[in-house]
Structure 1
Amino acid sequence: MNKSFLKFATDFGPLAIFFYYYYNNDKNLAVAIPPLIVATLIALAVVWFFEKKIPMMPLISGVLITFFGGLTIYFNDPVFLYVKPTIINILFALALYFGKYFTNEPVLKKIMGKSITLTDMGWELLNKRWMYFFFGLAILNECVWRTQTEEFWVNFKVWGMLPITLIFTGFQISLINKHKLDE
């Protein structure tokens, strides 16, 4: 099986199923969440079947979707789904902040050190920027879900946070180029 197609299908298939049920059922989260959970679990099973492993990010995402989606269904309260991005972004920020105390180096260097070679100062700066970015995304998510409609939040979550993240990532290129080590 084509690995890039498999990755695309397992990453975006559950999201497509969510939108299908959300927009075809009067924008009802209670109707759209169960198929999202099932599709996410199926996607993880498919990845496991073909790859014999599940990468950490899809696994964490699947657990969180199942947990927060389950809480939303059980308590019939979408607030659990609204706060999921806030909690995830705060956890990422805290991992970047506290991680260096456990690894004695920036967490991003541990994660990306084989892909990018930077000076120690470069890793420190990049790690701090991403930490602040994740805290900023958490605050932004809180502002949006607390002040906007559910439909606006759903669209912002999918079509807003991704471009914001891509733009932020693009702005890190100059820092990376400035602190890049020649191999």
Structure 2
Amino acid sequence: MSKPIFERDPSDPERQKINPALKLLLELGPLLVFFFGNARGEWIAERLPALAGIGGPIFIATALFMVATVIALAVSWALTRSLPIMPLVSGIVVLVFGALTLWLQDELFIKLKPTIINSIFGLLLLGGLLIFRVSLLRYVFDSAFNIDEEGWNKLTVRWGAYFLVMAVVNEIIWRNFSTDFWVAFKVWGFTPLAIAFTMAQMPLISRHSLDEEPAE
């Protein structure tokens, strides 16, 4: 039997897991590349003339973001021989909206990307739990948390709501502030907010933890 292309169910004993630190790097790495590309776009264009024809810093950053996203997915595949579902969805949106951004030379499309991704994730999490009674969040955090079914369901509802709120926040930011501010907030605003939100869920995770008590 051929192995599945997409990551296995978290309860599957054959599911390949990536070190949490490396998993975080694969998810945040493309964002950092995007921020660097926008901040140093002119410097990059001077040293790599082939990129100068793409456009200004935001367009160079978009191209680098697309490449970094593909590399991150390729590394994930090389390590586990499967594709992580949520990063794959995010990667598809990045490539589609990034291509539109470069083709039409309109930064609107890359600015809409976080709104689309957060909306998709929020609706997937809440819809999956409501319709199929499945916590898709386990595919993301199974290697980090060992909690019971009730805990996963509560955590899924909270993260689903969080993603929808972040979609609204992105709309407010890009519509009311400069492109440079939006790029900075995308990296240094959204990421700390995600970390803070995760830390705020630790009491719930602790209450529903399945970890064995240490022996006396």
- TM-score band by shorter chain is 0.7 to 0.9
Letter in 1 for 2:174: W
Pick from 159, 177, 182 the counterpart of residue 153 of structure 1.
182
Aligned length: 180
Render the CA deviation track for 1:4-31: whole Å, top value 9, x for unaligned: 6976775555445434432233562123
- Which residue in the other structure is 2:34 paired with? 18
- Residue 76 of structure 1 is matched in structure 2 by 105
Question: When the two structures are superposed, what TM-score results if normalisation uses the length of structure 2?
Answer: 0.68
Aligned to 2:170: 141
Q: How far apart, CA to CA, are the structure 1 residues paired with 2:152 and 2:32? A: 36
Alpha-carbon distance in structure 2 between the residues aligned to 1:113 and 1:162: 20
CA contact (8 A) 2:69 2:91 kept: yes
Counterpart of 2:85 in structure 1 is 56
Gaps of 5+ in 1: none
What are structure 2's unaligned runs of at least 5 residues?
1-17, 43-55
C-alpha offsets along residues 89-116 of structure 1, whole Å, 9 cap, x if unaligned? 1111111221024432444357656842
Q: Percent identity at matched positions? A: 38
On the 8 A contact 1:90/1:135 being kept in 2, the answer is yes
Which structure carries more helix by proportion?
Answer: 1
Look up the match of 1:117: 147
TM-aligned CA distance change 1:68 to 1:181, over 3 Å? same
Structure 2 CA distance for partners of 1:76 and 1:9, relative to 1, 3 Å = same
- Equivalent-residue separation in structure 2 for 1:46 and 1:109 (angstroms): 21
Q: Measured at CA, do residues 108 and 48 of structure 1 come closer, stay the same or move farther in structure 2, by a change above 3 Å?
A: closer
Distance 2:184 2:157 in 1: 28
Structure 1 vs Structure 2 CA RMSD:
3.1
2:191 is aligned with 1:162: yes
Provide the rounded CA distance (Å) in 2 between the counterparts of 1:165 and 1:97: 18
**Distance (whole Å) between structure 1 residues aligned to residue 147 and residue 74 of structure 2:** 35
Distance 1:73 1:11, change over 3 A: same
The residue aligned with 1:98 is 127
Tell me if the contact between 1:119 and 1:181 (Cα under 8 Å) persists in the aligned partners.
no
- Shift in CA distance, 16/144, structure 1 to aligned 2, threshold 3 Å: closer
Which deviations, in whole Å up to 9, do the C-alpha atoms of 1:126-164 show, x marking residues without a partner?
A: 222111111111111111111111000001001110110
Output the CA distance in 2 between the equivalents of 1:64 and 1:119: 30
